Amino acid sequence: MNTDPRPSAAPDFSAPVLAIDGPSGSGKGTISRLVAQRLGWHYLDSGALYRAVGVAAGWADLDLDDHGALVRCTFDTEVGFRDDGRGELRVLVNGTDATDELRTETAGAAASAIAAIPEVRAALKDRQRRFRQLPGLVADGRDMGTVIFPDARFKVFLTASAEERAQRRYKQLNDKGVSVTLDGLLREILARDARDAQRAVAPLRPAEDAVHIDTTGVGIEDVVERVLEIVNP
Ligand SMILES: Nc1ncnc2c1ncn2[C@@H]1O[C@H](COP(=O)(O)OP(=O)(O)O)[C@@H](O)[C@H]1O
Ligand SMILES: Nc1ccn([C@H]2C[C@H](O)[C@@H](COP(=O)(O)OP(=O)(O)O)O2)c(=O)n1
């Protein structure tokens, strides 16, 4: 998987972009990584950037209400992506492998709060756009098709029922030995959906030209095939 294409290079506007947006647990990361592997394209996990700022803010003991400090933290936080060779993405925050910490619901909630600050979103815009390199980019997030790559050639909006998304997260965390309750996860998912969809800047919503795929009860491989069909009909 191509994860970090020359991060300081300018975007290559001739590279096609597949934008995959959707709420937490809809399968964006899983499907994007598999599709990127199959196409041999680069992959941008935009949520990891917001999570990385959240984690770095936690390390620095910053107050989530101190917007000025969070914006400075966004500029100061270096995020690196590495393929572990088995198709999994490792994320380095200021040089430290923070992959496991990044995936916790605490980091997700911090990311969601920080992501509502317009200056933080603005600070991360160019960093995301630089991932656009040949032969193409699969970009996963909330505003890939609406704000970051509005001219993306392909746009997908993934959904699944909140109950199924909570079940998926429950299984994912349980498999990692993290102790959580299904009820608690469902509450967190609904709270995050509401905050991401209701914020003033770049709210979670499908682009007008996005293809909607409801993945409730649909297996991963079937979703991958449907997305590949959109790119190569
Ligand atoms: N279509 C699907 N059917 C069943 N499980 C899925 C499906 N898509 C993703 N998953 C599982 O759900 C969990 C959350 O998926 P993930 O890709 O992290 O979602 P997102 O990036 O949208 O939050 C993972 O454990 C993943 O394996
Ligand atoms: N493009 C993006 C990506 C993520 N965010 C914010 C909002 C999300 O709740 C958090 C975490 O995103 P992430 O995609 O990592 O979370 P999920 O895997 O969907 O649970 O970051 C965003 O505002 N815009």
pLDDT tens, 34-58?
A: 999 999 999 999 999 999 999 999 9
Asked if residue 135 has a cis previous peptide bond (ω within 30° of 0), the answer is: yes
Top-confidence residue, 65 or 86: 65
DSSP 152-195: -SEEEEEE--HHHHHHHHHHHHHHTT----HHHHHHHHHHHHHH
Q: Is 27 a known ligand-binding residue?
A: yes
Between strands 89-93 and 79-83, the pairing is antiparallel
Predicted confidence at residue 85, as pLDDT, reads 79
Residue nearest to atom 16 of ligand 1 (CA): 27
Predicted confidence at residue 1, as pLDDT, reads 54
Ligand 1 pocket test: pick from 28, 30, 32, 185 the residue with the most ligand atoms within 8 Å of its Cβ: 30
**Residue from 182, 185, 29 nearest 106 by CA:** 185
CA pair distance 180, 224, nearest whole angstrom: 28
pLDDT score of 86 more than 80: no
Query: How many angstroms separate the alpha carbon of residue 143 from the centre of ligand 2?
Result: 9
Q: Which ligand sits closest to the CA of 88?
A: 1
**Residue from 29, 57, 56, 54 nearest 43 by CA:** 29
Q: What is the mean pLDDT of residues 151-179?
A: 94
CATH code for the structural domain at 17-231: 3.40.50.300
pLDDT level of residue 3 (50, 70, 90 thresholds) = low
Summary mean pLDDT of the chain: 93
The HSE-up count of residue 129 (CA atoms within 13 Å, CB side) is 16
Atom of ligand 2 nearest to the CA of 196: 7
Residue that the structure tokens 């040949």 belong to: 134
Ligand 2 pocket test: pick from 70, 142, 155 the residue with the most ligand atoms within 8 Å of its Cβ: 142
Residue nearest to atom 23 of ligand 2 (CA): 115
Predicted confidence at residue 88, as pLDDT, reads 77
Domain residue extents for the chain: 17-231
Residue 218 in tokens: 């649909």
Top-confidence residue, 109 or 147: 147
pLDDT level of residue 177 (50, 70, 90 thresholds) = confident
pLDDT score of 83 more than 90: no
Atom of ligand 1 nearest to the CA of 172: 25
pLDDT score of 89 more than 70: yes
Residue 233 in tokens: 């009909």
CA pair distance 112, 154, nearest whole angstrom: 25
| pLDDT, tens digit (0-9, with 9 covering 90-100), for 94-123 | 999 999 999 888 888 889 889 999 999 999
CA pair distance 162, 153, nearest whole angstrom: 29
Beta-bridge mates of residue 17? 137
Q: Is 23 a known ligand-binding residue?
A: yes
CB atoms within 10 A of CB 116: 17
Residue ranges of alpha helices (H) inside the chain are 28-39, 46-59, 67-76, 99-102, 105-114, 118-129, 162-175, 182-198, 220-231
